[in-house]
Structure 1
């Protein structure tokens, strides 16, 4: 096996590794999106629970359960953001234009702030 053949094989192996890294980055973005959707669903369940059981006495029970669902949603989106950013910072995009790591944080913060606003609305505006 000559040096030229070894060089070609090494180049092909590096290309496969680069493509695998790109696929992992894209899978990471999809996974974050899935967890963000789950978090948003938890927040929606909390909001729905609050609206559906508003007439229940004592009112704090329905509010507490709704708040619990919303807090779970906040936890999920923050945990997803931390995992996504951690992996994204360890890998390098080669042939794709991946999402900037700051976008994970912006989305997580936006969802969290909106969720906290819902908690405030549930407890103090109703």
Structure 2
């Protein structure tokens, strides 16, 4: 085998290795987006539990008990939203997309803040309107 053929073969192996690395990095980015979506669903489930608890147990005396329990679930939801956002943005900042289009960190942050503000508004509604 000539030296030129050996060099071409070595270059082809290097190119394949780089492609595999790029695909792996893309898969990792997509996996972290799915994890973020899963955590957002968990936070929304906590919001649902709070609403359900408020609706089912609003007749309990003293009246502040169901509100306090619902507020705890809503604060947990905000914590879940924020921790998911921090983790997702931190990981995405260390990776580079090659062939896939991923969520931009600014969109993740906007979604997190919108969900957090809506959850805070719900806390206000439970305490002052219910």
Report the TM range for the smaller structure's normalisation.
over 0.9
Q: How many angstroms apart in 1 are the aligned matches of 2:21 and 2:40?
A: 29
Name the structure 2 match of 1:50.
Answer: 54
Could you tell me how far 1:44 is from its partner in structure 2?
A: 1.0
Give the ranges of 4+ consecutive aligned residues of structure 1 lying more than 2 Å apart after TM superposition: none
Could you tell me how far 1:20 is from its partner in structure 2?
A: 0.2
Gaps spanning 5+ residues in structure 2: where?
none
TM-score with structure 1 setting the length: 0.97
Name the structure 2 match of 1:65.
Answer: 69
Alignment RMSD (CA, Å) = 0.9
Q: How many angstroms apart in 1 are the aligned matches of 2:103 and 2:127?
A: 36
Name the structure 1 match of 2:29.
Answer: 25
Q: How many angstroms apart in 1 are the aligned matches of 2:67 and 2:103?
A: 37
Deviations, residues 64-96 of structure 1 (Å, cap 9, x unaligned): 000000110110011000000000011010001
When the two structures are aligned, how many residues end up with a matched partner?
126
Name the structure 2 match of 1:123.
Answer: 127
TM-score with structure 2 setting the length: 0.94
Could you tell me how far 1:27 is from its partner in structure 2?
A: 0.4
Could you tell me how far 1:102 is from its partner in structure 2?
A: 0.9
Structure with higher Rg: it is: 2
Residue correspondence of structure 1 range 78-93 to structure 2 within 5 A: 78-93=82-97
Gaps spanning 5+ residues in structure 1: where?
none
